Amino acid sequence: MSSHQFQHWTKSSRSSAGDNCVQVAFADDGTVGIRDSKHPNRAVLEFTPAEYDAFVDGILNGELRRPTAS
């Protein structure tokens, strides 16, 4: 079990009103938690601030796009 205390889970403003969302929260020590909103009591993926920043940068820079069919 995680020793981090994640509070204030948020999801994208583009997310629908349903529960099929990825949620993110930030611990006081900077650790970033990501969870599935359908199963909030299951395991939380934890990332360092640098790992999370690299992930977000990859999205913003288009590095994580799905391959297109040829």
Over residues 13-67, the pLDDT tens digits come to 777 666 678 999 999 999 999 999 888 899 999 999 999 999 999 999 999 898 8
Answer whether residue 42 is part of any domain: yes
Domain count across the chain: 1
Answer whether residue 70 is part of any domain: no
Please give the full DSSP string across 15-69, using - where no structure is assigned.
S-SSS--EEEEE-TTS-EEEEETT-TTS--EEE-HHHHHHHHHHHHTTTTPPPPP
Answer whether residue 8 is part of any domain: yes
Q: Which two tokens stand for residue 53?
A: 């920043």
* Domain of residue 59, residue span: 1-65
What local confidence, expressed as pLDDT, does residue 2 receive?
58
Which of 24, 18, 60 minimizes the C-alpha distance to 45?
A: 24
Answer whether residue 33 is part of any domain: yes
Answer whether residue 12 is part of any domain: yes
CA distance 2 to 4: 5
CA distance 14 to 56: 16
